[in-house]
Amino acid sequence: MKPEVYRIALFPLNIIVLPGEEVPLRIFEPRYKQLIAECEDTGMHFGIPYVDSNGHTNLGSQVELVRVVARNENGNSVVLIRGVNLFYLRNFEEELPHKLYGGGVIEPLNHSYQTTNNQLAVLIKKLKLNLSDTFGTLITDSSINMLDIAKALMLNSAQKYKFLLLKDDSQREKFLINRLLLREFIQKQESNLQNNFHLN
């Protein structure tokens, strides 16, 4: 079965927006003012290829415009976007025909990122990690979405990129377990410092 691929407007940035994650963007370049205006008019999505210190990578986030938060007299704005999906970038064009902004062909990442790893579940409950606004630390199914854990850990974009590059679920589970163990260690150190402060 051939992978699903399609063309989309692209806005390269050094951020990765996970599905469901909301991020503010400052819009001031004419090409991206045009892009956001079209998103407002049509509701179309756009893609954000992740840019690291070496330039474009082949990973990115498909996002939707949630709302324009503020706009000044020059047309510069702050907008809120939400992650919809992750993708592989198949090709990139600096400028689409009759547009100021670029675009390209993407292939959505259709991996489920589900895990039933018990150690992850135990650490999430122990650290009271907020996996969702509705359920908090409650795990409502036998499996957990690893992207939800990554969001709750508030990984930066470089860490998200490293996580998404991992080849299989066991490597992804190990990555998240190590991050959770680090958070547990930091929390213990902070608690010890607080206790010592009170004792003095």
* pLDDT: which is higher, 73 or 190: 73
Q: What pLDDT does 60 receive?
A: 97
Q: What pLDDT does 141 receive?
A: 62
Q: What pLDDT does 195 receive?
A: 63
37-63 pLDDT, tens digit per residue, is: 999 999 999 999 999 988 889 999 999
Q: What pLDDT does 198 receive?
A: 54
81-93 pLDDT, tens digit per residue, is: 999 999 999 999 9
Q: What pLDDT does 139 receive?
A: 57
Beta strand segments in 72-199, E: 77-93, 102-108, 114-115, 144-145
Query: What tokens does 131 get?
Result: 């996996």
Whether residue 49 contacts residue 89, with contact meaning beta carbons closer than 8 Å, is answered with yes
124-178 pLDDT, tens digit per residue, is: 999 988 886 544 455 556 789 999 999 999 999 999 999 999 999 999 999 999 9
